[in-house]
């Protein structure tokens, strides 16, 4: 699994940098870039908490480059997870709201439904989740991704069927005048959590 996220360096403290991408701030280690001169304002490619490559200003601001704009359905950099990182930040916000409402101390898992037309890559979502969950109530949580197929409903022949994402036509009569009824989902389905009181029960205790 190769995942690279372009982030901007905001502040440097020794081997640590405070970096930002799409409003998400994370501590990033500069350990692997000791041979480079990194300064606040520089862009780096971040992989599991380590800056692995300095991006030139040209790369960072090139029109259509991931750090400025990433449109997953048309062009995206190979391995770019900026879109998924933004999605994960939204998921974490939702998970934290659920956890607060339930007075939960720990979130063990979250299940998210991802439609084939949502523009989200499940593998990149998994990796981005590991970054987004850090320092939150979901820091140890597993993300389970349920992928859902594209489905169309045909007003001509009445067929409702699964279709390939690159062929949104009615498989029955061939019309393109179909209604997409599935595949655009991007929904938090379930959160598994435990409350502080549960965690404090001694092992083997019975009610
Ligand atoms: Zn049809």
**Ligand 1 midpoint to CA 147 (Å):** 25
First to last CA, the chain: 45
Distance 164 CA to ligand 1 centre (A): 15
pTM: 0.58
Q: Report H helices in 25-81.
A: 57-61
Q: For residue 71, what are the β-bridge partners? A: 75
- pLDDT for 146 equals 95
The C-alpha atoms of residue 207 and residue 191 are separated, in whole angstroms, by: 25
Q: 133: phi > 0 → left, psi -120 to 50 → alpha, else beta; which? A: alpha
List, in order of start, the domains of the chain with CATH numbers.
5-61 (2.30.30.140), 82-194 (3.30.2320.80)
How many angstroms does the Cα of residue 153 sit away from the middle of ligand 1? 8
Beta-sheet pairing, 104-115 with 142-148: parallel
pLDDT in tens, the chain (207 residues): 345 677 889 999 988 899 888 777 788 888 888 888 999 988 888 876 778 888 776 665 554 444 333 333 333 455 567 778 888 988 999 999 999 999 999 999 999 999 998 888 898 899 899 989 999 999 999 999 999 999 999 999 999 999 998 888 999 999 988 989 999 888 899 999 998 665 544 544 443
Neighbours of ion ligand 1 (CB under 5 A): 154, 156-157, 159, 170, 172-173
Q: Which has the closest alpha carbon to 126: 106, 148, 142?
A: 142
* DSSP 3-state of 130: helix
Q: How far is the CA of 181 from the centre of ligand 1 (A)?
A: 14
């Amino acid at each position: 699994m190769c995942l690279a996220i372009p982030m901007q360096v905001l502040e440097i403290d020794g081997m640590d940098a405070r970096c930002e991408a799409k409003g998400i701030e994370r501590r990033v280690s500069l350990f692997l870039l000791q041979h480079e001169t990194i300064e606040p304002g520089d862009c780096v490619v971040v992989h599991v908490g380590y800056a692995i490559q300095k991006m030139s200003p040209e790369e960072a601001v090139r029109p259509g480059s991931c750090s400025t704009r990433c449109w997953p359905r048309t062009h995206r950099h190979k391995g770019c997870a900026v879109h998924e990182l933004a999605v994960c930040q939204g998921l974490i916000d939702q998970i934290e709201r659920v956890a607060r409402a339930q007075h939960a101390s720990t979130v063990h898992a979250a299940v998210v439904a991802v439609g084939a037309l949502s523009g989200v890559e499940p593998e990149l979502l998994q990796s981005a989740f590991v970054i987004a969950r850090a320092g939150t109530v979901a820091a140890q949580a597993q993300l389970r991704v349920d992928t859902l197929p594209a489905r169309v409903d045909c007003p001509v022949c009445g067929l409702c069927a699964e279709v390939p994402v690159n062929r949104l036509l009615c498989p029955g009569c061939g019309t393109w005048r179909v209604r997409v009824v599935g595949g655009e989902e991007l929904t938090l389905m379930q959160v598994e959590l435990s409350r502080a009181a549960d965690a404090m029960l001694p092992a083997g205790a019975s009610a």
